[in-house]
Structure 1
Amino acid sequence: MASPMADEDKSSLATASASIVEQPKDETAKEDVMPPPASSSNDKENVLEEIDLLGNGKVIKSILRRGTGETAPIGNEVTVHYRGTLLDGTEFDSSYSRKDPFTFTLGAGHVIKGWDVGVASMCKGEIAELLIQPDFAYGERGSPGSIPPNAVLKFKVELLKFAPKKKDKTMMSSEERLEAASASKEEGNKAFKSGDIEGASRMYAEAKDMLEGSEEWADAHAAAAKPLKLSVHLNLASCFLKSEAWLECVLECTAALKLDNGSVKALFRRGVARTHLAEYDTAKVDLIAAAKADPRNVEIRKALDECKKAAAEYERVSSQTYAKMFAK
């Protein structure tokens, strides 16, 4: 598959999909517009509107589901799901299959021209099919191993979200980083409440990154960052509990306890995670401390009982195993 980025963009966008990334211009690319493929009756029924975006047949958009609000502005970071096929229906790339949406800066030339044109015409939530002629895709060169020369491409694209491109944190003031971290945390909370644990983890991780080194900020901003940082660590720990990433949960709780050594939530979540890691002694220490700090918390008591039962069962099985070994 072709290199995903132009050389100057590889370092910052190395994870971009090869199927949509701009290739070097081919000055000999054909200008003729190839005819669109015959659509199935089902495709025709699903199309709400067909638009020739440039008026020359180079990029034709068929709207399958309308979005809401304004179209994505040039310069914004856009996040999409997509499926790319050749005219014969052969799939060469799909973010749906990977379960990993793709994010890029609109109009920056990081993707093929047909994508910059097509996605710029879409609203949030819109699903469209883009029919892209070769000179707005890969031209005569194609993409070895996946896209032949002079290929007309079809992309089903779903615009998930867009927002102004975030500033590099090294170029931001401590106040700006506080605001950005708070905004990311709120987005994470929304995602968590909706059941999108992966999305929540991603937003909390962004907030955590923005607050890195906040203890060295000026006094007022450092003081404001501390409770926010604690909350982000705790929320990440909660996400890791949900996704059963026990070690990651332990690490986030430990970071939270460095900020507040009496945090009941951190002690409880670390105790639960350590139980699942079969670290029963340290798990009991955490859960007993949490229970003492919040003696009426039924959930903590339940977790402590489960830890004790798991530890006892472990000892029973271990004793039987050792007994059999020595009996031989």
Structure 2
Amino acid sequence: VSVHYTGTLNDDARTQFDSSIPRGSPFSFTAGVGQVIQGWDRGVVGMTVGTKADLLIHPEAGYGARGSPPTIPGGAVLRFEIEVLDLEEDEPSYPVDPEARRAVVAELKAEADGYFRDGAFRKAVTKYQWAINCTSGSYETDHKKKAADKRVEAVLNSNLAACCLETKQYAKGVNAAAAGTKCLEDRDMELSLVMGEEEEEEGAQLPLLFKILVRKANALEGMGHVEEAIEVYNAALAIKTSKKVVRSRDACAKILAKRVKQKKTMYKY
């Protein structure tokens, strides 16, 4: 649970002893495992993101007879104004049967897509990651089905990378994009093991690969790795896809190249 809070003594002056708000840093904890006082563990039950609560906590559910010197005296009754900013669920366990896993993956992807559309990118990151964990751990042995699973996993990693750009988790975005590229390679390998199958339409996977590479380049740029970003942009631009998209990314690559040139010029002095 991630919250902002303000803690005061329940006295006439409502003496404030702590608050996360001036620090600009939310407080995060796992509820129900004793990481916080009992009053908090009980108080956040049933709360949802965006809700606020004014908790009145007596000593037996707070800091007891000893208090927490020097700010909280022994036997103090406390008030906490709490706002829930984010809630993270525990990752579920997944079924062993491959078909059952695919159903779970579809459900998780649908949830993640919904969060993505609503702009709840951190929640989308969690759901996409769970879907990836579920499909990557499949015990499927059929090569065609494994290839299809790898295609789905590539899409999930591409979407995860897009969310990471929004949340500024750039390193995670780079890793997701790299994983997506590897999934497409694994998919092709699985299909190569299927004898007598008709070949897929040439270039059918290139739009997805293009998208993954562009997102990887975006993430690298966010990390300040401009030279690496340019290399990945160029790799994406070498893929023959939509001319409109290629032109826009070509412009980005040129801008990045100018920045690199400017940096090199700065280092001369």
Asked if the contact 1:138/1:150 (under 8 Å) is kept, the reply is yes
| 1:123–1:311 distance in 2 versus 1, CA, 3 Å | closer
Query: Once structures 1 and 2 are overlaid, which stretch shifts more, 128-137 or 205-214?
Result: 205-214
Deviation (angstroms), 1:134: 0.4
- Secondary structure of the residue that 2:226 maps to in structure 1? coil
Asked if the contact 2:2/2:28 (under 8 Å) is kept, the reply is yes
| 1:155 aligned partner, one-letter code | F
Give, in whole Å, the separation in 2 of the partners of 1:103 and 1:251: 27
Q: Deviations over 1:21-74 (max 9, x none)?
A: xxxxxxxxxxxxxxxxxxxxxxxxxxxxxxxxxxxxxxxxxxxxxxxxxxxxxx
What residue in structure 2 maps to residue 277 of structure 1? 225
Give, in whole Å, the separation in 2 of the partners of 1:316 and 1:163: 43
| 1:266–1:191 distance in 2 versus 1, CA, 3 Å | same
Give, in whole Å, the separation in 1 of the partners of 2:167 and 2:46: 36
The CA RMSD over aligned residues, in Å, is 3.8
Matched, 1:267 2:213: yes
| 1:89–1:186 distance in 2 versus 1, CA, 3 Å | farther
Larger radius of gyration: 1
Asked if the contact 1:80/1:157 (under 8 Å) is kept, the reply is no
| 1:125–1:243 distance in 2 versus 1, CA, 3 Å | closer
Asked if the contact 2:181/2:212 (under 8 Å) is kept, the reply is yes
Give, in whole Å, the separation in 2 of the partners of 1:227 and 1:306: 28
Asked if the contact 1:287/1:304 (under 8 Å) is kept, the reply is no
Structure 1, unaligned stretches of length 5 or more? 1-78
> What TM-score does the superposition give when structure 2 sets the normalisation length?
0.67
| 1:286 aligned partner, one-letter code | A
| 1:156–1:237 distance in 2 versus 1, CA, 3 Å | same
Q: State the identity %.
A: 28
- Secondary structure of the residue that 1:302 maps to in structure 2? helix
From 77, 87, 91, the counterpart of 1:152: 77
Q: How many residues align?
A: 236
Greater helix share, structure number? 2
From 85, 92, 96, the counterpart of 1:173: 96
Asked if the contact 1:83/1:91 (under 8 Å) is kept, the reply is no
From 227, 231, 242, the counterpart of 1:295: 242
Query: Once structures 1 and 2 are overlaid, which stretch shifts more, 175-184 or 277-286?
Result: 175-184
Give, in whole Å, the separation in 2 of the partners of 1:196 and 1:300: 29
Asked if the contact 2:37/2:61 (under 8 Å) is kept, the reply is yes
Deviation (angstroms), 1:153: 1.4
Matched, 1:307 2:230: no
